[in-house]
Structure 1
Amino acid sequence: MDATGVDVVIVGAGVAGLTTARALARTGFSVAVLEARERVGGRTLSQSLGGEVVDLGGQWVGPAQRHVLRLADELGLKRFPQYHHGTKVLDVRGALRTYRGQVPSLPLLSLLDLQRVIWKLDGLAKRVPRERPDAAPRAAEWDALTLEEWKQRHVPTWGARAALDIAARAIFAAEPSEVSFLHFLFYVHSNHGLMPLTTIEGGAQAERFTGGAQTLSLRLASELGTRVHLSTPVRAVLQDGDGVTVSTEDGRTWRARYAVVAVPPALAERLDFGATLPAGRRRAHADIPMGSVIKVVATYERAFWREAGFSGEAVSDTGPVRLCFDDCGADGHHPALVGFFLGETARAWTGRPPAERQRAALESFARFFGPQALKPTAVADLDWPAEPWSKGCYVGLPRPGVLSTIGDALRAPFGRVHWAGTETAIEGCGYIDGAVESGERAATELSARLATPGGLPVGGRAVSG
């Protein structure tokens, strides 16, 4: 069988894979991007609801996310600020509380404890090297702990504990008992502190893309044209002394000098790599499962919550929706709310009929903002744990004991195979920014190797398989 010959085959047409491909193509190298889905965008998905585009996957960017902002500007994407004015809702211990600003409505002792905890965690996070978390001075000790265990030892007040639980679910789409404390600290350092992870103004939720976040991938794919192959699930990535052979489930084959695998570790586990992977990489594939989130968007005739003085923000430690935001379009048009089922709640609802999930989400919205929330004009949801080519969202989460033992396996090349994806990012890990950063890194690594004379034929010519 003949195989298509290129310099680099890239597995995955999410932001990371497409960023890698664009950078390499602009340098003059030939690439092929193979995507299992019938669309590009990976964990971003923008679709029409009620006549306007909404995001059912990743959607926010913040001012510190320099990689994605630079790329978006290059591609001519427009952004608008996330609405956050007005009263916020805190639903904890079965009681609704309201507040303004960034200080939740908690007892004074809990607020003082929470501020102390934030300072403590930010300080500890700076001691975890972003490039090598396993090199932190207490890496093994911290990795043996979950965030829940650390909280039980170091956070005495119920209010600060509740706030930390809510933040952990919102940030990781997982329970505090599932998050390695070492990974938590690395993640905080990778994203410039705990508060930027949880806030809108100046934080990671500051802005949204006009037309939806998937526009980033759609623009990248448009530049790449026929180099992107959809509905092409990869089965094997096999290498020899001369190059890499990538075969797909429908029997097609690509031959290349190098390959980039730009999918989460939990999906890379499906691939046949032939020769034995390094132990650290095998551990990463087996023990970095995805977070669990179901995202629900409801549109309305009017933004009744704004009219009542609410910002649309709500967090809760009970009920289906644990996190809620205003999801109106720019300038308030297309009134909408977006809610998240997170962690164990998402796992409890995954696979159930969409109408049931959507009704449950509307009831949560009504608890936060009033009975008008029960009368939407349209509703859509996305059950990310049920997505076969994602297996969850937002990001892969190393189980306790993993990050301190795998070394640099998430980024270290395996022979002619390189790795990209937000899980491999040093900066912006878990976000679209991290996906862009990882793609740029992978392209830089490969550009250096491709500059070495020799290797396979390039330029898209057919070669013997």
Structure 2
Amino acid sequence: MDFFIKIPSLAAALQAIATLFLIANADAVACEKPPIEVDVVVVGGGFSGLKSAYDLQQSGLSTVVLEAKAAIGGRSRSIHRQSGEGIIELGATWINNHTQPRVSALVDKFGLDTAVQYTTGESVFQGPDGEARRIPPGGLNFYRQAGNQEDAAIEIGLLTNVSEAAAAVNITYWKDFPEEQDVTVTEWVSRLEYGNSSHARGLTGHLTRALVGREPHEIGIHYLLDYIESGLGLESLNSEDEGGAQYLKIKQGTTSIATHLAKAMSPDSVLVNTPVKAIKQSNGSSIVTAQTGQVFKAKKVIIAIPTNTYRDIKFSPPLPKKKDILVSNTKPGIYGKMILSYSEPWWRDAGLVGKFTSVSGPVCFSWDTSDLALSQYSLAVFIAGDIATRWHALSDAERKSSIITHLESLVGEDLAGKARDVLEINYAEWTKEEFLWGAPTSAMGPGMLRKYGDALREPYGNLYFGGGETAYEWKGYLEGAIRAGERAAAEVIAALGKEDK
């Protein structure tokens, strides 16, 4: 009986529960911050996203950049050398002040210093037959081969066919590319007179690995030709002269362009370690939610991240079918880059320019990235495609030793000891980089560009699309990323201007 007397009435119990619920709910509301409201949210703090944000703020629009990684700069990464003065470039490295005006303008604007790429000496080429040969300067500027006449004719024929086909491609309109030719690079080359020779197959594999980090059977010839023409052709992409893509290095490092852009914007408008997990469009605005729990409300959103990473974001409503197909089918390049630093420029002393090219790898290609004024003597070695996949699977010690051992074989016994005497090793495995998963760009298979290319840059509601892959010119390069950022920003500024009217 006493037990029942101590129980409060049902009404009192319900009142107590309601009170507790209100208190708990009030605490939750108090802890939940209202969304930060801006005109534009830019997703991605690479060169494209930063240039978009800079242009938007210059036009008077409030803008915030959300970068998923701990540092800005996208696929650039400039670090200080540990064994002395100098910058080590683990990502994007070169520009050209003649053919790449947008990035050059930023270098001038921020007062950065440049140095001309070293070009004196012979290169070393290891073809499909496995023999490493010294190639004198001059002559062919792409995969030069000192072999028999048949192999030389195959090389010249392949490069000529690819160059001419690229020059015929319209890089701003894709639907008129012949459907019967819209096949993989492997199949397209096999249709050439010499296309099934081992020499042609080896050179073709090296070509696609070097340019986009993928094997020829994985990508469409239309995409490859479009990529080549976007960079002004094979000669431009492979050379270091005044018209070449590897003409100038930035002494302060390429990442310094990104940091200067960020400093030129409003304080606290670039947030790192802020990956976006959801974007919801409704009632003429968008709610952008980060994995940190931060919420932003914006009139417009610019997506400036690699297309293969769109899938990490929940879009509501979902992306249109054509854009979703592109996102699901783009292939990030499989890429690694290792910088070998030495106490002396032994390759220069031996009459070599620092270009070591191999069809078999693991050294796929390299360039001299030295700064003699700082006593920095470095070789930048690139590993790409299936060769990089196998290299990524090695241990740290094996990755380093495999590159050094291969370099020893490329330079021969007389210089092997010099190649082995490394002062410092730095490398980046871009394939394993979270929120990027590859470099220097993302490639497409056959039919994708012709059928869905127009959807790559097409706005969707309040969403606009930048990123280096969406550039018309210089895809995969700093210049392309900046151009894409400028285009996306201009689209947003125009759209908001119309809405205001």
Same fold per superposition (TM over 0.5)? yes
**Closer, same or farther in 2 for the Cα pair 1:242/1:117, shift >3 Å?**
same
Offset at residue 161 of structure 1 (A): 4.5
1:8-407 matches, cutoff 5 A = 8-49=40-81, 50-51=83-84, 52-62=86-96, 63-92=98-127, 93-101=129-137, 102-103=139-140, 104=144, 105-133=146-174, 135-138=175-178, 140-143=179-182, 145-154=183-192, 156=194, 158-201=198-241, 202-224=243-265, 225-329=267-371, 333-369=375-411, 370-371=415-416, 372-407=418-453
Name the aligned partner's letter for residue 131 of structure 2.
Answer: A
Name the aligned partner's letter for residue 87 of structure 2.
Answer: V
Which residue, out of 17, 26, 36, partners 1:4? 36
Partner-residue secondary structure (3-state), 1:5: strand
Deviates more, 1:40-49 or 1:394-403: 394-403
Offset at residue 179 of structure 1 (A): 2.0
Normalised TM-score (structure 1): 0.93
Partner-residue secondary structure (3-state), 2:409: helix
Aligned residues: 452
Larger-Rg structure: 2
List runs of 5+ in structure 2 lacking aligned partners: 1-32
Q: Residue 480 of structure 2 aligns with which residue?
A: 434
Deviates more, 1:78-87 or 1:308-317: 78-87
Offset at residue 454 of structure 1 (A): 4.6
| Alpha carbons 1:234, 1:248 under 8 Å: kept | yes
**Closer, same or farther in 2 for the Cα pair 1:58/1:71, shift >3 Å?**
same
Name the aligned partner's letter for residue 479 of structure 2.
Answer: D
Normalised TM-score (structure 2): 0.87
With CA pairs under 8 Å and 6+ residues apart, which has the higher RCO, 1 or 2?
1
| Alpha carbons 1:128, 1:136 under 8 Å: kept | no
Q: Residue 458 of structure 1 aligns with which residue?
A: none
| Alpha carbons 2:177, 2:450 under 8 Å: kept | no
Partner-residue secondary structure (3-state), 1:114: helix
Offset at residue 117 of structure 1 (A): 3.2
Deviates more, 1:308-317 or 1:356-365: 356-365
| Alpha carbons 1:297, 1:338 under 8 Å: kept | yes
**Closer, same or farther in 2 for the Cα pair 1:342/1:137, shift >3 Å?**
closer
Q: Take 1:214 and 1:155, find their aligned partners in 2: how far apart are those partners?
A: 45
Q: Take 2:71 and 2:452, find their aligned partners in 1: how far apart are those partners?
A: 32
1:411-452: per-residue Cα shift (whole Å, max 9, x none)? 000111001111000011111111011001011101111213
Q: Take 1:83 and 1:160, find their aligned partners in 2: how far apart are those partners?
A: 29
| Alpha carbons 1:300, 1:377 under 8 Å: kept | yes
| Alpha carbons 1:113, 1:155 under 8 Å: kept | no
Offset at residue 25 of structure 1 (A): 0.7
Offset at residue 349 of structure 1 (A): 2.1
Partner-residue secondary structure (3-state), 2:331: coil
Partner-residue secondary structure (3-state), 1:238: strand
Offset at residue 76 of structure 1 (A): 2.0
Q: Take 2:287 and 2:500, find their aligned partners in 1: how far apart are those partners?
A: 17
Offset at residue 366 of structure 1 (A): 1.6
Q: Take 1:165 and 1:81, find their aligned partners in 2: how far apart are those partners?
A: 29
| Alpha carbons 1:247, 1:254 under 8 Å: kept | yes
Partner-residue secondary structure (3-state), 1:405: helix
| Alpha carbons 1:175, 1:344 under 8 Å: kept | yes
Deviates more, 1:147-156 or 1:382-391: 147-156
Offset at residue 97 of structure 1 (A): 0.8
Deviates more, 1:159-168 or 1:204-213: 159-168
Offset at residue 293 of structure 1 (A): 0.8
Name the aligned partner's letter for residue 398 of structure 2.
Answer: E
**Closer, same or farther in 2 for the Cα pair 1:66/1:108, shift >3 Å?**
farther
Q: Take 2:407 and 2:486, find their aligned partners in 1: how far apart are those partners?
A: 40
**Closer, same or farther in 2 for the Cα pair 1:263/1:19, shift >3 Å?**
same
Partner-residue secondary structure (3-state), 1:408: helix
Name the aligned partner's letter for residue 80 of structure 2.
Answer: S
Deviates more, 1:272-281 or 1:97-106: 97-106
1:28-51: per-residue Cα shift (whole Å, max 9, x none)? 111000001110001000112223
Name the aligned partner's letter for residue 100 of structure 2.
Answer: Q
List runs of 5+ in structure 1 lacking aligned partners: 456-465
